[in-house]
Amino acid sequence: MTGGEVAAIIAAVAFAVLVVFIVLVLMKIGKTVERVTTTVDEANKTIEVVTKDVDILSRQVEGLLVKSNVLLDDVNKKVATIDPLFEAVAELSESVSELNYSSKNLLGKVGAVGKTTAKAGVVSKVGGAAFRAFRPKKSSKVSETTK
């Protein structure tokens, strides 16, 4: 064997090792590509399911919003119906407050008149007693003859 033949054999063996190594790497890459493909397919299926669920949820939310708006309109109408009642209660409250104030004033005035009347009663009793005390007394003889 010559030096050229040995070099050719070494080159052939090196080339064969290189081919085996490339085949092993390509097989691993093939498995990885399969896994990636499977993962992408599952992700696509999941995205489709999620999209369908989101569509269903959005329709349900839209229905709830419509019902909420109808309910809110109904509540607003009922509140508008009740507003006059609250206004009447407020006016009644003011009237009761004014009546209370007037009653207090009246009681104050009646109390003052009562005090004045009591003073006048005392004065009239004192005056009556004084009048009887200073009135000329008729003689008893005159009163006996009249009998």
Report yes or no on 147 lying in a domain.
Answer: no
Domain that holds residue 31: 8-100
Q: Residue 142: its pLDDT value, please?
A: 52
Provide the whole-model pTM: 0.41
Report yes or no on 123 lying in a domain.
Answer: no
Q: How many domains does the chain have?
A: 1
Q: How far apart are CA 40 and CA 32, in angstroms?
A: 12
Report yes or no on 91 lying in a domain.
Answer: yes
pLDDT in single tens digits along all 147 residues of the chain: 788 999 999 999 999 999 999 999 999 999 999 999 999 999 999 999 999 999 999 999 999 999 999 999 999 999 888 888 888 888 888 888 888 888 888 877 777 766 677 666 776 777 777 767 777 666 555 555 555
Report yes or no on 115 lying in a domain.
Answer: no
Which residue bears the tokens 């499977």?
A: 38
Radius of gyration from C-alpha coordinates of the chain = 60
Q: How far apart are CA 66 and CA 60, in angstroms?
A: 10
Report yes or no on 78 lying in a domain.
Answer: yes
Report yes or no on 64 lying in a domain.
Answer: yes
Residue type, 40: V
Q: Residue 90: its pLDDT value, please?
A: 87
Q: Residue 23: its pLDDT value, please?
A: 96
